[in-house]
Amino acid sequence: MARTGKTATEGRQPPGARAEPPRPRRVSRQREAGEATRRETRRLLLAAAQAEFAERGYAAATVIRIAERAEVSVQTLYSNWGSKRNLLRAVMEGALTGDADVPLEAAGQPLAVLTATLDPGDAKDPRRLLAHLVHQYRLLAERSAVGWQTYRDGAAIDPDIAADWQQLTDARRKGFHAMIAWLPVQALRPGLSHAAAADTAWVIASPDTHDLLVRRAAYSYDQLEDWVRTTLTAALLADS
């Protein structure tokens, strides 16, 4: 009768032979296309939301108009972002990180966008470090102007938006504390602690300063950067 089982040695690999690694699963082209479509839909909705917020503010903006701008259904908006509040948060975080799908860093850490282009030599020189920080603030202000204004207006009428704005404000303050801690204590004005210096920078390089100088006093962004750099240097550094 023919054997149907295996002997003890059948199927065994020779001594020293390496097991073949499992073959990676192939991601279907259909799945890849679906992910690309989803990313594009989310991007279109964010762009539409930003335009709607810029034109109408948070209170008057509606999910119906945002969906119409993006040429998708309201259900698609909800399935991708969940709510108008989440869209505003994504617009703001996208401005802060450069990618709405990238979460903010852990509390107390500088934004990666602030440190990614920091030259090691600049990090060791107090004036150059402040100049770098101010330039990144200027770039951030250009990207975040709509989000800042929308949050400021929305926070006055919506407690959930106010809570989100407070969280973002606190995160910005902690980021300044982390960055200013890089300055050697001897570089600061006599009697000025790192904590006080960080709070000074947090106030000077702020959404409020952008609102007052750019929106109300009609400063250009070059003028804003020059004013913040000059003011911050004079306020913080001993040899200014």
- pTM of the prediction? 0.75
Q: What digits encode the pLDDT tens for the residues 58-98?
A: 999 999 999 999 999 999 999 999 999 999 999 988 887 76
Mean pLDDT within 149-153: 92
Residue 239 has a pLDDT of: 81
* Nearest-angstrom CA–CA distance, 213 and 228: 10
Q: What dotted CATH number matches 92-236? A: 1.10.357
| Topology given in CATH for the domain delimited by 31-82 | Arc Repressor Mutant, subunit A (1.10.10)
Query: What are 30-39's pLDDT values in tens digits?
Result: 777 767 888 8
pLDDT at 175: 85
DSSP labels, 90-111: HHHHHHHHS-TTSPPPPTTS--
Sign of CA dihedral 140, 50, 164, 78: negative
Q: Are 145 and 208 in contact (CB under 8 A)?
A: no
pLDDT over 60 (residue 236):
yes
CATH 1.10.10.60 in the chain is located at 31-82
Question: Mean pLDDT, the chain, as a whole number?
Answer: 84
All CATH 1.10.357 domain ranges in the chain, comma separated: 92-236
pLDDT at 205: 96
